[in-house]
């Protein structure tokens, strides 16, 4: 059998394999077998140099034609696979793609929950501006002129005598000016401080402040309200501890710790082995604050408290980075439905 016959036989064989091929992988194998570096047609082309001039011409021409024809067929077959896989995917009987429904931001959810608890205890809600005057943010709340919070380091100052409020307590001063006791208000809202952003601190955070002014209000009323709130928010088992503290607008002042949510008080990493977690500041409203708002501090007393929303939420849901609240990463937000 001559080489010319070999070329034709190999070509027919390859064309038949291509027509039967059922995958792109199979086409690749056929290419290697006939046209690859050691393929059958390639070997014949490589051996041409040893042939007579006449044989070189006829076999060479036939082998080159066979190669071109196979390449063309392989390419056409490849295209066929590409198209079939692309067009098969539409099935009108399948259900459509539904659009995603968003979730309420975790901080907002927690604020709502806190407001509901206080609402049940008879508190009304007051809201006010994010940009406050120096007067309501500091002066009316008994901050002395040289208080460190009034420093550029801690507060964002806006034009003139205005600041981005550093707490929602200014609303206490505003409400006290406009209403007469009994007054029972909570003030949820966004606050700002000039902090270095880290896993524990951010320039923005939410606060739920609350206060009550009436005749004969005592520290025992404050304690009763906060115990009721913490049991509703963290569960019946939670214990509270009041530690003396200092705030310009309350006297006496206290910070409140709750028994650790993770270890229950025996000591763990979350509570840094103390068994307690600090959650809020509170105290009896300083008589100066009442007097400045035009409320008779001889007749009336009141208490106030301030809860940091992100901090409380981080403890409740074991979130280890406050920046997650502000990154708008839906992978984080979607976890809290
Ligand atoms: Zn603990």
Tally of domains in the chain = 2
**Residue 312 falls inside a structural domain:** yes
For residue 56, the enclosing domain spans: 3-87
Q: Same domain for 33 and 166?
A: no
**Residue 313 falls inside a structural domain:** yes
**Residue 94 falls inside a structural domain:** no
Ligand 1 centroid to Cα of residue 316, in Å, is 12
Q: Same domain for 158 and 286?
A: yes
Q: What pLDDT, on a 0 to 100 scale, did the predictor assign at position 149?
A: 65
Ligand 1 centroid to Cα of residue 243, in Å, is 18
Question: Residue 318 contacts by C-beta under 8 Å, 6 or more apart in sequence?
Answer: 262, 270
Q: Same domain for 33 and 168?
A: no
Structure tokens at 41: 């047609």
Q: Same domain for 241 and 280?
A: yes
pTM of the model: 0.68
Ligand 1 centroid to Cα of residue 273, in Å, is 6
pLDDT band at residue 226 under the 50/70/90 scheme: very high
Q: Same domain for 176 and 76?
A: no
Angle at CA of residue 162, ends 157 and 167, nearest 5°: 80
Strand segments, DSSP code E, in the chain are 124-125, 131-133, 162-164, 183-192, 204-215, 240-247, 250-259, 276-285, 300-308
Q: What percent of the chain has pLDDT over 90?
A: 49
Pick the last residue of a domain from 60, 87, 114: 87
Ligand 1 centroid to Cα of residue 246, in Å, is 25
Ligand 1 centroid to Cα of residue 271, in Å, is 4
Q: What pLDDT, on a 0 to 100 scale, did the predictor assign at position 205?
A: 92
Ligand 1 centroid to Cα of residue 277, in Å, is 8
Distance CA 282, CA 303 (A): 7
**Residue 158 falls inside a structural domain:** yes
Distance CA 23, CA 6 (A): 27
User: Average pLDDT, whole number, for the chain?
Assistant: 89
Ligand 1 centroid to Cα of residue 279, in Å, is 14
Q: What pLDDT, on a 0 to 100 scale, did the predictor assign at position 102?
A: 84
The 10s digit of each residue's pLDDT in 140-151 is 888 877 777 666
**Residue 219 falls inside a structural domain:** yes
CATH code of 262's domain: 3.30.930.10
**Residue 181 falls inside a structural domain:** yes
Q: Same domain for 67 and 216?
A: no
Residue indicated by tokens 């509901």: 116
Q: Rounded mean pLDDT of 252-269?
A: 89
Q: Same domain for 44 and 155?
A: no
Q: Rounded mean pLDDT of 42-61?
A: 88
Q: Same domain for 36 and 83?
A: yes
Q: Rounded mean pLDDT of 288-312?
A: 92
Q: Same domain for 326 and 182?
A: yes
The 10s digit of each residue's pLDDT in 96-106 is 888 888 889 99
Q: Same domain for 125 and 244?
A: yes
Q: What pLDDT, on a 0 to 100 scale, did the predictor assign at position 152?
A: 59
């Amino acid at each position: 059998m001559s080489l010319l016959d070999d070329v034709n036989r190999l070509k027919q064989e390859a064309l038949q394999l291509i027509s039967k091929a059922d995958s792109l992988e199979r086409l690749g194998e056929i290419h290697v077998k006939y046209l690859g570096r050691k393929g059958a047609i390639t070997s014949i082309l490589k051996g041409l140099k040893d042939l007579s001039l006449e044989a070189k011409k006829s076999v060479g021409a036939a082998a080159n034609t066979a190669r071109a024809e196979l390449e063309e067929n392989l390419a056409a077959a490849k295209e066929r696979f590409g198209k079939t896989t692309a067009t098969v995917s539409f099935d009108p009987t399948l259900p459509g793609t539904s659009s995603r429904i968003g979730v309420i931001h975790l901080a907002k959810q927690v604020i709502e929950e806190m407001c509901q608890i206080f609402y049940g205890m008879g508190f009304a809600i007051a809201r006010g501006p994010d940009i406050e005057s120096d007067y309501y943010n500091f002066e009316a709340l008994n901050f002395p002129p040289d208080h460190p919070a009034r420093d550029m380091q801690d507060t964002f100052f806006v034009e003139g005598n205005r600041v981005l409020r550093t707490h929602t307590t200014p609303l206490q001063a505003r409400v006290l000016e406009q209403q007469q006791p009994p007054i029972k208000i909570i003030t949820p809202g966004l606050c700002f401080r000039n902090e270095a952003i880290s896993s524990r601190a951010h320039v923005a955070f939410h606060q739920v402040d609350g206060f009550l002014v009436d005749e004969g209000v005592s520290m025992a009323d404050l304690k009763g309200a906060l115990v009721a709130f913490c049991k509703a928010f963290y569960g019946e088992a939670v214990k509270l501890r009041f530690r003396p503290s200092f705030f310009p607008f309350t006297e006496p002042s206290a910070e409140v710790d709750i028994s650790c949510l993770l270890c229950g008080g025996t000591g763990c990493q979350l509570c840094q082995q103390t068994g307690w977690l600090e959650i809020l500041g509170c105290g009896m409203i300083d008589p100066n604050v009442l007097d400045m708002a035009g409320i008779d501090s001889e007749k009336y007393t009141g208490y106030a408290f301030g809860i940091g929303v992100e901090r409380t939420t981080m403890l409740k849901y074991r979130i280890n980075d406050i920046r997650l609240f502000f990154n708008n990463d839906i992978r984080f937000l979607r976890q809290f439905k």
